[in-house]
Amino acid sequence: MSIVNTSLYPLSDAARRAAIVETAARQLAEDGAAAFPDFVAPEALAEMVAEAAAKFGSAHRRDQMLGFNPRGPLADIADEALRNRAAPYSMWILGSDLLEADGAVQSFYRSPELMALVQDALGIARLHTTADPLINVNITYMGAGDQHGWHFDDNDFVVSLLLQAPETGGAFEYAPEVDTAPVEDINAILDGASPRTRLQKVEAGTLLLFRGCRALHRVTEVAGDKRRMIALLSYHTEPGFVYADSVKQNGLGRVSAIAA
């Protein structure tokens, strides 16, 4: 069974693959994000959804109010009032070690075809899977009332695959290229009163590449009984990369893998 929806993304066809990469690279340059709707074949997506749903009971619950995290030049001008603006981080996160090594999600994450596409679209010479047993590919679940507040990413880029959309809410909203913005512009974004924000359409099966280190972004509050489920795929330019224990503790509530 092919994981990629080859009818829409014929990556074995050199000319059509080049056009797909060119479009994605242009979107990243212009908008800071590139979306590949229906990237995963329906049968493969159904298998991933089933796997993620079955593992929900093992996910770590994260309920925090975190202060604003300015990045780039903004960090030099952010005042105390801005830094103290807290945002909710409410969700469940599943550690990579709890996914089946040969399951659909891990197989997708390690697919050379996927990695090559991401690498070329981002214009990176070489990408590697991370060696961290807890953070390589993770599943995030958001139920009614959950949200992921405004923030910048620490990583240069994020790769995600939406597995299941909620009934309502759970929209991906972002403001690109604002790490150089004045403080008043950032406050306007956080207040929900800025023309710089935009919504990125993301439906189940959409692969999204996003440069979140320069873009403020959030996931709006989820409503309804259907959970939002998304796979976050962590790649790195350095082979053998492992995250700091503080990152694992903060996200997963532990620093060691759980023995099978």
pLDDT of residue 60: 97
For residue 238, how many other CB atoms are within 10 A of its CB? 11
User: Using one digit for the tens of pLDDT, what is the confidence trace for 70-101?
Assistant: 888 998 999 999 999 999 999 999 999 999 99
Please say whether the beta carbons of 228 and 167 come within 8 A.
no
Q: How far apart are CA 218 and CA 21, in angstroms?
A: 26
- Is residue 26 a part of any domain in this protein? no
Please say whether the beta carbons of 71 and 179 come within 8 A.
yes
Give this prediction's pTM.
Answer: 0.95
- Is residue 49 a part of any domain in this protein? yes
Q: How far apart are CA 8 and CA 43, in angstroms?
A: 15
For residue 230, how many other CB atoms are within 10 A of its CB? 25
User: What's the DSSP call for residue 244?
Assistant: -
Range of the domain at 42: 33-251
- Is residue 60 a part of any domain in this protein? yes
Domains held by the chain: number = 1
Q: How far apart are CA 52 and CA 99, in angstroms?
A: 8
pLDDT of residue 228: 98
235 has a pLDDT exceeding 90 = yes
Find residue 236's DSSP bridge partners. Answer: 128
In the predicted model, what is the mean pLDDT of the chain? 94
Query: Residue 177 belongs to a domain with what CATH number?
Result: 2.60.120.620
Which two tokens mark 249?
Answer: 């503790």
pLDDT of residue 1: 60
For residue 32, how many other CB atoms are within 10 A of its CB? 23
User: Using one digit for the tens of pLDDT, what is the confidence trace for 159-185?
Assistant: 999 999 999 999 999 999 999 999 999
- Is residue 162 a part of any domain in this protein? yes
- Is residue 2 a part of any domain in this protein? no
Measuring CA to CA, how many Å separate 81 from each of 85, 103, 183, 237?
7, 46, 10, 35
255 has a pLDDT exceeding 70 = yes
- Is residue 15 a part of any domain in this protein? no
Q: What is the mean pLDDT of residues 48-61?
A: 97
DSSP characters over 123-168: T-S--EE---SSSSEEEEEE-TT-EEEEE--SSS-EEEEEEE--SE
Measuring CA to CA, how many Å separate 5 from each of 51, 141, 245?
19, 24, 37
Which two tokens mark 106?
Answer: 């891990």
